[in-house]
């Protein structure tokens, strides 16, 4: 048996302001070279468990922990703050949360400085890790000018430049287009063999990983282990097909849109319309301009050319924290004052937010943050709603309810523009697909004309959806 890297015995954890435990009586070992995935419903404590593994918790949150937790055969509390981080590297769910410097090269250099790497060695190490991660062309780019997917790859490069023994991954492919996600997994597979890395990942979409993980630790809603078994391929969540109810009334008109930011041309010459009740999927490779399009439509980015006509636009961003204004979840949803108390209660129930209604929106899980932001925008009753990767961090039940809510609001006449790399979700909802590549619009197509067009999908780093179907009975 290989060396034991992590050893948990009856570990319990809760945050100081919570009465209930976040993690309950966890007991397991992880050995050197293993590939372990942690699964479970949104908000069950998966990310919290990762933060115990890398020693970010309990000290950074004043958390209360009991039981025995050992790292590399040594009690976790015996490590000084930061001592373990060169051996255990983490790629967080939200890459923005771990960047400190403006450019890719400076961020990598900052990581090496913290490890006391001599300056004369830095250039070579940075060159090597950029080549390894396929990011050489982005060496001097401003990180905040990159797409969410590209940021995720930069975060991975920052983790790997530390030459760690363990790599912790918190939903690392959630912002990657399907082809790039597959390439990332293949690259990680090769890297793990070459370096004998121990890999522990948090993931909802195990169907995308095929046979990469050898073991799965399953948590339930109470943060307890309900399964520790050999990992098996998970089928994608099957969502019900939607019958379109859009009407031929244009509510969004974009004409000749062009956008520049940070000295770069992000979008050029985009022109399209959207009808009342239409669900439009915006798709394309990482860095193609999808998020930039949504930011331009809602006014975050100023137009350099062109025009936008719409009666009212709401936006659920990729990083939902940017939307939050209130100190509790329930007040966040009630902020607009438009929805009635009955409507708010219905949204809270359906988005599974009642259990966290008095929690601060910043303190909940990433998947829950997305549902809070979605609920706030749905309560705001905008004519057009923009959503950037709304399925990220959502378990099967949450995905189904999101599907139902979008379908119902579209039936009521709300128009949706949804950026997503989840082709199964896209196929089950879309009336149309807007394809973007290199900041330019390839075209807007009827959805059914896209799914079986292999060449068009490949050009935009997309994979054919596995097929919409009737939902499994357990989620009905």
- How does pLDDT run across 27-44, given as a tens digit for each residue? 999 999 999 999 998 889
Residue 342 reports pLDDT greater than 50: yes
Using CA atoms, how far apart are residues 204 and 201, in angstroms rounded to an integer? 10
pLDDT at position 473, please?
Answer: 35
Average pLDDT, the chain: 89
Rounded average pLDDT over 132-153: 85
Please provide the DSSP assignment of 345-366 as one string: HHHHHHTT-GGGTTS-GGGS-H
Tell whether 163 and 263 lie within a shared domain.
no
pLDDT at position 471, please?
Answer: 35
In 3-state terms, what secondary structure has residue 236?
Answer: coil
Domain final residue pick, 196, 230, 264: 230
Domain final residue pick, 200, 230, 260: 230
Q: How confident is the model at residue 109 (pLDDT cuts 50, 70, 90)?
A: very high
Q: How confident is the model at residue 467 (pLDDT cuts 50, 70, 90)?
A: low
Using CA atoms, how far apart are residues 169 and 117, in angstroms rounded to an integer? 24
Residues of the chain with pLDDT > 70, as a percent, come to: 98
pLDDT tens sequence across 203-234: 988 888 988 999 999 999 999 999 999 888 77
Q: Which residues pair with 258 in a beta bridge?
A: 305
Rounded average pLDDT over 245-252: 92
Using CA atoms, how far apart are residues 216 and 204, in angstroms rounded to an integer? 12
Instruction: Name the phi and psi angles at 115, rounded to 5.
Output: -95, 5
Tell whether 75 and 134 lie within a shared domain.
yes
Strands (E), 243-278: 247-261, 264-276
Tell whether 183 and 308 lie within a shared domain.
no
Distances (CA, A) of 388 to 29, 152, 281, 290, 471: 37, 15, 10, 8, 24
Using CA atoms, how far apart are residues 291 and 303, in angstroms rounded to an integer? 14
Residue 269 reports pLDDT greater than 90: yes
Token representation of residue 141: 């780019």
Tell whether 268 and 145 lie within a shared domain.
no
Using CA atoms, how far apart are residues 95 and 183, in angstroms rounded to an integer? 19
R_g of the chain computed on alpha carbons? 22
Domain final residue pick, 202, 230, 258: 230
Residue 305 reports pLDDT greater than 90: yes
- Which helix (H) or strand (E) segment is 436 a member of? strand 432-437
pLDDT at position 29, please?
Answer: 97
CATH number of the domain to which 342 belongs: 3.40.50.300
Tell whether 295 and 433 lie within a shared domain.
yes
Q: How confident is the model at residue 410 (pLDDT cuts 50, 70, 90)?
A: very high
Enter the DSSP assignment of 103. B
Domain hosting residue 408, numbered range: 250-460
- Domains in the chain: how many in total? 2
Tell whether 66 and 94 lie within a shared domain.
yes
Position 242 in a domain: no
Tell whether 376 and 300 lie within a shared domain.
yes
Tell whether 282 and 426 lie within a shared domain.
yes
pLDDT tens sequence across 279-301: 999 999 988 999 999 999 999 99
pLDDT at position 96, please?
Answer: 81
Enter the DSSP assignment of 337. S
Q: Using an 8 Å Cβ cutoff, are 242 and 407 in contact?
A: yes
Position 298 in a domain: yes
pLDDT at position 438, please?
Answer: 94
Position 436 in a domain: yes
Position 39 in a domain: yes
Tell whether 213 and 296 lie within a shared domain.
no
Burial class (CB in 10 A: 0-12, 13-18, 19+), 337: exposed
Tell whether 73 and 137 lie within a shared domain.
yes
Tell whether 30 and 167 lie within a shared domain.
yes
| Number of helices followed by number of strands (H, E) in the chain | 13, 19
Least confident interval from 34-38, 155-159, 287-291, 396-400: 396-400
In 3-state terms, what secondary structure has residue 408?
Answer: helix
Report the candidate in 90, 100, 286 with the shortest Cα–Cα distance to residue 170.
90
Position 468 in a domain: no
Tell whether 455 and 312 lie within a shared domain.
yes
């Amino acid at each position: 048996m290989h060396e034991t890297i992590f050893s948990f015995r009856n570990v319990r954890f809760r945050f100081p302001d919570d009465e209930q435990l976040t993690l309950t009586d966890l007991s397991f070992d992880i050995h050197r070279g293993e590939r372990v995935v942690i699964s479970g419903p949104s908000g069950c404590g998966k990310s919290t468990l990762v933060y115990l593994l890398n020693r970010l918790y309990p000290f950074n949150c004043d958390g209360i922990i009991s039981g025995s937790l050992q790292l590399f055969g040594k009690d976790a509390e015996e490590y000084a703050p930061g001592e373990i981080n060169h051996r255990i590297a983490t790629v967080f769910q939200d890459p923005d949360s771990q960047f400190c410097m403006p450019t890719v090269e400076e961020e990598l250099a900052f990581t090496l400085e913290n490890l006391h790497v001599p300056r004369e060695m830095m250039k070579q190490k940075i060159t090597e890790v950029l080549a390894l991660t396929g990011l050489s062309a982005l060496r001097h780019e401003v990180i905040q000018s990159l797409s969410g997917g590209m940021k995720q790859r930069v975060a991975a490069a920052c983790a790997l430049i530390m030459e760690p023994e363990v790599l912790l991954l918190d939903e690392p492919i959630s912002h990657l287009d399907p082809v790039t996600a597959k390439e990332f997994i293949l690259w990680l597979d090769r890297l793990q063999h070459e370096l004998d890395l121990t890999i522990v990942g948090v993931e909802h979409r195990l169907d995308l990983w095929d046979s990469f993980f050898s073991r799965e630790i399953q948590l339930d809603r109470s943060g307890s282990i309900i399964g520790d078994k050999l990992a098996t391929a998970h089928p994608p969540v099957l969502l019900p097909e939607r019958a379109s109810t859009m009407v031929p009334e244009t509510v969004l008109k974009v004409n000749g849109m062009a956008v520049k930011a940070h000295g770069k041309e992000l979008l050029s010459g985009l022109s399209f319309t959207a009808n009342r009740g239409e669900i439009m999927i915006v798709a394309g490779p990482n860095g193609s301009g999808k998020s930039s399009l949504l930011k331009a439509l809602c006014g975050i980015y100023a137009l350099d050319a062109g025009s936008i006509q719409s009666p009212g636009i709401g936006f659920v961003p990729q990083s939902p924290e940017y939307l939050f204004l209130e100190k509790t979840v329930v007040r966040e949803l009630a902020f607009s004052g438009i929805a009635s108390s009955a409507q708010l209660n219905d949204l809270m129930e359906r988005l599974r937010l009642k259990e966290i209604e008095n929690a601060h929106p910043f303190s909940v899980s990433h998947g829950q943050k997305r549902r809070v932001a979605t609920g706030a925008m749905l309560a705001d009753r905008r004519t057009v709603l923009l959503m950037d990767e709304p399925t990220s961090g959502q378990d099967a039940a949450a995905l189904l309810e999101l599907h139902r809510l979008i379908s119902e609001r579209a039936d009521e006449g709300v128009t949706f523009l949804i950026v997503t790399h989840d082709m199964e979700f896209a196929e089950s909802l879309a009336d149309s697909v807007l394809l973007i590549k290199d900041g330019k619009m390839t075209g807007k197509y009827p959805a059914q004309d896209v799914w079986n067009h292999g060449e068009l999908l490949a050009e935009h780093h997309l994979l054919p959806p596995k097929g919409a179907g009737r939902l499994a009975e357990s989620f009905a």
